[in-house]
């Protein structure tokens, strides 16, 4: 299985009631992520659908899930995050409001079915000074989460730095590690 990370832009709903949609391709698989039709941008649901495009002319539904969201789907990736040769799906959601907290949902195929992976929380000490404004990126099939850090009790909104965490899969479990920026 080829490792893929191809992101196409979100198709905007504009004045219609059609949901916003993101489409990605990996080999003969097509991934579609769409927010629920007629739902608030701030919260609701999103669906993840995987299709087989082996014959090249039409899509055959393979599997899918509908998940709740508290915010807007910002980006999605379709790549092998745990090194098992099968692509996982990562969906970045940004909460409504000025703090723009980030959420990352990871989905994997387990026993032939798409399932939401339970993500660990980072160590509390790594979140000291955290006030949202997360960004996620994937490089070389690794997830990185970066956010500004603030001095305790600072409400001025002036960060004193930033912190980056890396999501890794090791010994059959997911974990966050502090990423040293060189």
pLDDT digits (tens, 9 = 90+) for 57-103: 789 999 999 999 999 998 999 888 988 888 899 999 999 888 888 99
**What integer pLDDT is reported at residue 50 of this predicted model?**
92
How far apart, in Å, do the first and last CA atoms of the chain sit?
Answer: 32
Helical H segments across 64-128, by residue range: none
- Provide Rg for the chain, Cα atoms: 17
Q: Which fold has domain 21-178?
A: Lipocalin (2.40.128)
The pLDDT tens digits for 116-162 are 999 999 999 999 999 889 999 999 888 999 999 998 766 667 889 99
Helix (H) or strand (E) holding 177: strand 173-178
What's the pTM value of the predicted model, to 2 decimals? 0.85
Rounded to the nearest 5°, which phi and psi values hold at 7? -115, 130
User: Could you tell me the two tokens for 165?
Assistant: 């965490």
CA–CA dist 43, 103 (Å, integer): 13
- Decide if pLDDT at 172 tops 50: yes
Comparing 12-16, 19-23, 163-167, 169-173, the range with the smallest average pLDDT is 12-16
Note the Cα 80 to chain centre separation in Å. Answer: 13
Could you read off the pLDDT of 157-167 as tens digits, one per residue? Answer: 788 999 999 99
């Amino acid at each position: 299985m080829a490792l893929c990370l191809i992101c196409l832009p979100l198709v905007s709903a504009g004045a219609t009631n059609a949901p916003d949609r993101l489409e990605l391709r990996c080999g003969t698989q097509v991934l579609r992520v769409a927010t629920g039709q007629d739902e608030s941008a701030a919260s609701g649901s999103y669906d993840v659908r995987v299709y087989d495009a082996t014959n090249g002319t039409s899509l055959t539904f393979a599997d899918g899930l509908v998940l709740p969201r508290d915010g807007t789907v910002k980006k999605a990736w379709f790549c092998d995050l745990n090194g098992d040769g099968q692509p996982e799906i990562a969906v970045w959601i940004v909460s409504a409001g000025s703090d723009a907290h980030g959420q990352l949902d990871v989905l994997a195929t387990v026993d032939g079915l798409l399932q939401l992976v339970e993500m660990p929380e980072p160590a509390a000490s790594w979140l000291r000074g955290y006030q949202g404004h997360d960004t996620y990126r994937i490089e070389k099939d690794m997830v990185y989460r970066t956010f500004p850090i603030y001095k305790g009790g600072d409400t001025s909104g002036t960060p004193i730095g930033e912190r980056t965490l890396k999501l890794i899969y090791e010994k059959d479990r997911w974990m966050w590690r502090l990423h040293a920026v060189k």
